[in-house]
Amino acid sequence: MRTRPESNRQRWAIAAVAAAVLALSLVLRSAYYELVLTQVLLWAVMSLGWNILCGYGGYFSFGHAVFWGLGAYTVALAMIYLNLSPWVSIPFCAVVGAVAGAIIGFPTFRLKGHYFALAMLAYPLAMLPIFQWLGFQELALPMKRETAALYMQFEDPRVYVVLALGLMVVALSISLWVENSRFGMALTAIKQNEPAAEAAGIDTWRWKMLALMLSGAIAAVAGGLYAVVLLVLTPDTVFGMLVSAQALILALFGGVGSLWGPIIGAMVLVPLAEGLNAELGNVLPGIQGVVYGVAIIVIILCAPEGVYWRVLDRLNRNKKPEPRATVAAAPVVALLQPRGTAGGDLLVLRGIGISFGGLRALDQIDLAVPPGGLYGIIGPNGAGKTTLFNVINGFLAPGNGTAEFAGEKITGLRPNRICRRGIGRTFQVVRAFARMSVLENVIVGAYVGAPDDTAARNMALAALDRVGLSVRADAIAGGLTTRELRLMELARALAPNPRLVLLDETLAGLGHEDLDGILGVIRQIRTDGTTVLIIEHTMQAMVNLVDHFTVLDHGRLIAEGKPNDVVRDQRVIEAYLGKKWVERVAATAN
Amino acid sequence: MTHHSVTRRSVTAGIATAIGALAAPAIVRAQAKTIKIASIAPLSGPWARQGQLLKMGTDMAMEDINAAGGIKSLGGAKIEVIAADAGDSTEKAKNAAQRLLSDQPELVGGTGAWLSSFTLAVTEVTERASLPWLTLSYSDAITNRGFKFVFQTSPTADWQAKETVPTALKLAEAATHKTPKTVGIIMDNTAAPVSFSKPLREGGLEKMGLKLTVDQIFTPPLSDATPLIEKVRSAKPDFLLLLTSAMPDCKLVLEKLDEFKLAHGKVPLVGNGAPFGSPELLSTIGPELLEGLLFSVANWPTKGQEEFIERFKKRTGEPFLTQDGLCGYGDVAILAAALEAAGAADRIKVAEAIRKMNLTTGPAAQCFPGPIKFDGKGRRVDVPMIFAQWQKGVPISVFPADLALGKAVWPSV
Amino acid sequence: MSFSLIDFLQALTAGILVGSAYALMCVGLGIIFGAMRVVNFAQGDFLMLGMYAAFYLTTGYGVLAFLGPYGGPIVAAFLAGPIVFAVGWLVHRFIVSRVTGSGAAASEGAGAYGQILTTLGLSLILQNGALIVFGSTPTAIRSPLSRSSWEIGDVLLNQGRCVSFLVAVVVAAAVYLFLGHTRLGKGLRAAADNSQAAIYMGIDVDRAHRLAWSLGVGITAIAGGLVASSQSFQPYTGFDFVIVMYAGVVLGGLGSILGAFWGGLLIGIVQQASTLVFPYQLQNTCIFIVFLLIIFLRPQGMFGRLSERT
């Protein structure tokens, strides 16, 4: 998240670039250069739109041409059949793009990664034959000789530069707003670790849909203006692979996920391609494609994430990191309320069962955790402990049984909803947002319980204080030690003040001194009023920590009760050590 | 192999043009100004072959005209054809047009851009610059926009359809003494075939007493022609209209017809469009399968052009002359004729001259069937539809008789 | 829309025969996609290279002329494989390996961005380079098989496509056996499943990837060689097939060679049989609709596995 002065600097930068483009357009003498400049700006807008979903959110789309094409055809068909001026239809394209984004997002967001990208590929290519079939193989926007200006037809090509520039400034401003808002943080979290974001209370589906709709709206508007500039549309021109590829190439080349990446990409690659066409087109046909391809490969080998990030890295390497204004933990106003035991257990599981194919991973699990309790779940490897957490947390829906939290049913709810109800979670393998700072990681977790961003920040600081990690607030999460990572994840889970936290093997991989530290933190959490349910292996530590054990083996509950009783239970020993040991223990006892 | 020589020639042509361009300033100083004409065609991308053929025509015309003394009414000024690559998209075509116009403000006319969507994009630019433009493309949109500076040398699709079918019927009657009653159409859904078949479907065929028993439209490129030809096999129309505009699709359809034992006259074929006469078709399918394939085309080498054809073949190494090279040559010749008539290297005057034109003799008129005369919309009128037919591995014109280089044979078993 | 039994059978057989070539292409892509998780935009262009390789082998300098017009094209198609394999080997060695596998593990998204751009750039180079070298004229391999058919009742089976069906099945089976039963093949699969673990087990992941890449483009090239005698091609032909290949691979399921084969076959069938019910013009739209349906209803494809542990 940017600070206020940083945001302002970016706004000035946008204004400066806009002024520079205007100046350039006044200086250029030829209509051809103005046309190329217009195209640079339009492609920049398209790429900015792409960047919102794909650069910020990490959901790569190979099919953004579908929005571009729908926008272009909307404007063209509206003008041809309804005599509607582009001044009206181009803004309307935003609606078209957003609606298309919603329709496409509904089914497609069930996929991730490569599948999502390839599914997106299918949409524009499916549209292509449809438009051919409908008879729109060649559409020419009618020339309006009398009322030209009314229909956005100008003799002076610079007007189009101004229009496209206006669009670009709007798109940049939107991107800037996204970057600085909770929206942007959520997208970044989704990009870096979606399950963690979901478990931290981020409604990932909603944000993804919004991102796609916004992305589609921007691309469609750009497509609409493109139709006005190009005047002739064929399905291949606006729905073709090259359009989707161009949106991608510009953003990836310039710097994916950055504000300026698409701009850099557009300003370098579009004129380059056009220049190559112009110079080499008829000398050695095809050479321009070869040169363009080579240029792309060379740049990507030197700067795999784009020019912007590479340049930034270079600059930052020479700069000393500015001592940031220390994130002084503001006096922690008691955000913690004493938890009254309102009678009845906090978390109740009844008959929980789940199967994966033929494997019965959990069977007839009953559990009742009272408020303020510190309960442990133990069992040998593969017993189903993490699976149980996944069920409680909402990542898996149980085949049988119910789960109730604070008297309300939570079975079948999505993880972010469950987080909202007041259940926090850490993971067996720490799921950090590796490129964000520790503080930002925790702020993501605070959103679900904070009315605004300032409150979120304060809650995050408080949580870091609780776990004793305040001193590392500004460190980038990717560089932390195991202990620090676990504390950070703990802080993230605690930030929204949950009533219950699920700790999955928090002590794993820690050395002796680290262990004591974390145990102390966990005890303090309970003292502060939060109920804790913890999965662990390390018997020794657990026995002195928890009030109660539940023992799982092969998905079934084999024992529960006070720690000292459970460790002596025959079934438990057998489960952990096998029959031979039980006999040996029995033998030595005799 | 033709494709090898094409590339090498492009290189040498390019170098020659470059050297010529370098030497030009000296020439300009020495005598009358050079008249510049634009030629925009796809030189790279999927349609590069067609663009190169067009360029062969325009380059040859330029040489011939200059060798014959240039434009006499302008003091023997030489013409220079400046080529630009329309590439593989309408955006690139438009950019090429805009670039040419910006770089070469003295342009007086132009020709191109082969693909109808490219032509549309290019002419949007040239119209606004009042640059007279000639094209062989003929989709309806080209001359429906109310433009004043676009001149289409091919007859409209409507006209072509109205000429093609009755002529085919007449040929059939003359050969078999029977009138065909049923017809099938196989076409792709690009603009030209769509424009061609529209009037036929909207009552045109009925008026000629024909029933449409097979009507198959596909989106190019075609992957396999089996389902298409299966329909032909079951319906067995008296003849088949093939409106496939790309050579690869022609090959698939023709070979599938052979496979289904419907070729060699079993179902007489009438095609429309220059791709049916391309040398590539010959090299991929072979002369036996093509024997007797009849097709109507806007322009094809006709009687009186024999010497010209030989010269073209020798100069370019092409096995025969096709529509693209012929039209490329002809367009430049028309512009030269217009310049002669206008007496000034001025766009408006050249356009005026073209509008007033009614050429029946001269190098321009020799390139096109019928008089070179344009109506108010820029369309040619009274153009006889040429039919060509593959005979012994060469597609030669067979109709109308006064223009034909060969004699028509209605394919029958 | 009504159609007869013959129409249906004819379309179905056409779909299977056309689909067999798609199936082999998908197997090639599946190897790469499955082993390296790389979206290779240049796959269609390697297909095109295979077509040209087969073409020049058949026609150039009478090299295969002594095999006759029937055998020549088939052998040429086979030989196109190793040629493109070698090209792929070099391409991976000098370009692709820098943005995939261990060369890119450190960057964000495991170098996904770099991979996409690199393969896009590669595609541009191959297409346009082919234009310069081979020229723009569409060509095809002339074979009498492309216009003859065998008759089963009233159904005609195109001989050329039948032969390529057989070749495709043989090659795909060979690949399947190779991957499942040889040391090299198993190493490939291990590297695909978990490259880090594979490294620890002593498998040279980079080598494995190079093998997967080269094998993948080589197999697809053989498919190209087979198609080259049925259809004409030009330097930009690859474009038309990339989508079909991806649809087939995803349909079949990530990481499954069998799945890729069946996926490609299914795509072929959908493409041809859809014309019975839907307008012919929407052939390819139907492919995508089926593709999208499968992705939504069964995202792991027919034979793939769902992954993602929490």
Q: Does A555 touch chain C (CB under 8 A)?
A: no
Point out the residues of chain C with pLDDT beneath 70: 1-2, 61-65, 101-112, 192, 194-196, 305-310
Best mutation target among C232, C236, C270 (most B Cβ atoms within 10 Å) is C232
Confidence of residue A589 (pLDDT cuts 50, 70, 90): low
The partner residue sitting opposite B284, judged by closest CB among C232, C271, C283, is: C232
pLDDT at C252: 85
Do C131 and B44 make contact, defined as CB atoms within 8 angstroms? yes
Q: Which residues contact A204 (CB under 8 A, 6 or more apart)?
A: A186, A190, A194, A197, A198, A416
Domain-embedded: residue B170: yes
CB A30 to CB B103 under 8 A?
A: yes
Burial classification of residue A528, based on how many CB atoms lie within 10 Å of its CB (0-12 exposed, 13-18 middle, 19 or more buried): middle
Residue B81 falls within a domain, yes or no? yes
Give the pLDDT score at C104: 54
Interface of C with A in 184-243 (CB under 8 A): 235, 239, 242-243
Beta-carbon separation of C239 and A241 below 8 A:
yes
- Taking CA atoms, A383 is separated from A117, A388, C231, in Å, by 36, 9, 58
Inside any domain, residue B347: yes
Burial of A156 (C-beta count, 10 Å sphere; 0-12/13-18/19+): exposed
ipTM over 0.90: no
Query: Distance (Å) from the C-alpha of residue C111 to the closest C-alpha of chain B?
Result: 31
pLDDT at C7: 86
Q: Give the tens place of pLDDT for each residue, A516-555.
A: 888 888 888 888 889 999 998 777 778 888 889 888 888 8
**For residue A245, which residues of chain C lie inside 8 Å, CB to CB?**
41, 120
* Per-residue pLDDT in tens (0 to 9) along chain B, 413 residues: 334 334 434 444 455 455 544 544 444 444 457 999 999 999 887 788 889 899 999 999 999 999 999 899 988 899 999 999 898 889 999 999 999 999 999 999 999 899 999 999 999 999 999 999 999 998 888 998 999 999 999 998 888 888 899 988 888 888 788 888 999 999 999 888 999 999 999 988 998 899 999 999 999 889 899 989 999 998 999 989 999 988 889 999 999 999 998 888 788 889 998 889 988 888 888 888 888 889 999 999 998 889 999 999 999 999 999 999 999 999 999 999 999 999 999 999 999 999 999 998 888 888 998 899 999 999 998 888 899 999 999 999 998 888 888 888 887 65
Q: For residue A98, give every residue at least 6 positions away whose Cβ sits within 8 Å of its Cβ, in sequence order, or none.
A: A213, A214, A216, A217, A220
The separation between the first and the last C-alpha atoms of chain B, rounded to the nearest angstrom, is 34
Are β-strands A400-405 and A347-356 bridged in parallel, bridged antiparallel, or unpaired? Answer: antiparallel
Mutate to test the interface with C, among A297, A391, A396 (most CBs of C within 10 A): A297
Q: CB–CB of A71/A222 below 8 Å?
A: yes
Shortest Cα distance, chain B CAs vs residue A32, angstroms: 5
Q: How far apart (Å, rounded) are the C-alpha atoms in residues B215 and A132? A: 17
**Residue at B95 is within a domain:** yes
User: What residues of chain A lie within 8 A of the CB of C292, using their CB?
Assistant: 107, 119, 122, 126
Strands (DSSP E) contained in chain C are 149-152, 155-158
Q: Does C27 touch chain A (CB under 8 A)?
A: no
Q: Find where tokens 């056996």 sit.
A: C177
Token representation of residue A172: 């940049």
Residue A66: pLDDT over 80: yes
Which option is the CATH number for A4-240: 1.10.3720.10, 1.20.1530.20, 3.40.50.300, 1.10.3470.10?
1.10.3470.10
Please report the residues numbered 184 through 213 in chain A whose beta carbons come closer than 8 angstroms to any beta carbon of chain C: 195
pLDDT above 70 (res A307): yes
State which residues form the domain around B162: 157-297+386-399
Chain C nearest-CA residue for A111: C299
Q: What is the pLDDT of residues A441-498, one digit of tens each?
A: 999 888 888 888 888 899 999 999 888 888 888 888 888 888 889 899 999 999 998 9
Longest Cα–Cα distance of chain B, Å, equals 71
Nearest in space to C307 (alpha carbons), one of A195, A503, A394, A61? A195
pLDDT at site A323: 46
Q: One-letter amino acid identity for A244?
A: S
Distance CA A84, CA A76 (A): 9
pLDDT given at position A342: 55
Query: What letter would DSSP give residue A53?
Result: I
Chain C contact probe: residue of B224, B229, B251, B291 with most C CBs at under 10 A: B224
Closest residue of chain B to C151, computed from CA coordinates:
B260
Please state at what angle helix A204-230 crosses helix A182-199, rounded to 10 degrees: 140
Which chain A residues are Cβ-neighbours of C114 within 8 angstroms? Answer: 300-301, 304-305
Helix (H/G/I), strand (E/B), else coil: B297: strand
B338 is a domain residue: yes
Q: Confidence band (pLDDT; 50, 70, 90) for A574? A: confident
CATH 3.40.50.300 domain span(s) along chain A: 347-589
- Best residue in A35, A154, A161, A232 to probe B by mutation, most B CBs within 10 Å? A232
**B77 in the same domain as B134:** yes
Taking a contact as any Cβ pair under 8 Å apart, which residues of chain C between 84 and 113 contact chain A?
95, 98-99, 104, 107-109, 111-113
Q: Is residue B112 part of a domain?
A: yes
Contact B174, B190 (CB under 8 A): no
Do B113 and B188 belong together in one domain?
no
Q: Do B167 and B196 lie in a common domain?
A: yes
Residues of A in contact with C125 (CB under 8 A): 289-290, 293-294, 297
**A288 and chain C: CB distance < 8 Å anywhere?**
yes
B94 contact A CB<8A: yes
Residues of chain C contacting residue B7, judged by C-beta atoms under 8 Å apart? 132-133, 135
Query: Which site among A108, A125, A193, A242 would you substitute to test the C interface, given the most C Cβ atoms closer than 10 Å to its Cβ?
Result: A125
Which residues does chain B have within 8 Å of residue A266's beta carbon, measured at their own beta carbons?
none
Sign of CA dihedral C81, C84, C90, C91: negative
Contact assessment for residue B28 and residue B34, using Cβ atoms and an 8 Å cutoff: yes
pTM of the model: 0.87
Tally A–C CB contacts below 8 A.
150
CA closest to B115 among chain A residues: A138
Containing H/E element for C254?
A: none
Are residues A278 and B99, on separate chains, in Cβ contact within 8 Å? yes
Per-residue pLDDT, A537: 74
Which of B47, B90, B128 would you mutate first to test chain A, the one with the most A CBs within 10 A? B90
Of the candidates A132, A138, A230, the beta carbon closest to that of B94 is on: A230
pLDDT of residue B363: 87
What CATH number is associated with residue B338? 3.40.50.2300
Residue among C6, C14, C232 whose CB faces B224 most closely:
C14
Of the candidates B386, B374, B375, B312, which has an alpha carbon nearest to the alpha carbon of residue B337?
B374
Q: What pLDDT is recorded for position A336?
A: 45
Number of H helices and number of E strands within chain B?
16, 12
Residues A169-200 have pLDDT tens digits of 999 999 999 998 889 989 999 998 898 898 88
- How many alpha carbons fall within 13 Å on the CB side of residue C250? 32
Which whole number is the average pLDDT over A146-164?
Answer: 90
Q: Chain C within 8 Å of A280 (Cβ-Cβ)?
A: no
Cβ pair A138:B10 closer than 8 A:
no
Query: Is the CB of residue A386 less than 8 Å away from at least one CB of chain C?
Result: yes
Task: Give which of B209, B217, B215 is closest to B231, Cα–Cα.
Answer: B215
Q: What is the pLDDT of residue B32?
A: 59
B288 touching chain C per CB within 8 A: no
How much is the pLDDT for B119?
96
Residue A476 touches chain C, beta carbons under 8 Å? no
- What kind and span of H or E run contains A214? helix A204-230
- Buried/exposed code over A99-125 (b: 16+ C-beta within 10 A; e: otherwise): ebbeebbeebbebebbbbbbbbbbbbb
Domain identity same for B56 and B146 = yes
**Architecture of the CATH domain A347-589:** 3-Layer(aba) Sandwich (3.40)
Q: What is the DSSP letter of B77?
A: B
Answer yes or no: are the C-beta atoms of C306 and A154 closer than 8 Å: no
Number of domains in chain B: 2
Here the tokens at position A499 are: 């009533």
- Residue range(s) in chain A whose domain bears CATH number 1.10.3470.10: 4-240
Same domain, yes or no: B323 and B290? no
Q: Is C120 on the interface with A (CB under 8 A)?
A: yes
Taking CA–CA distances from A234, the nearest residue in chain B reads: B117
Question: Got the DSSP string for C180-205?
Answer: HHSHHHHHHHHHHH-HHHHHHTT--H
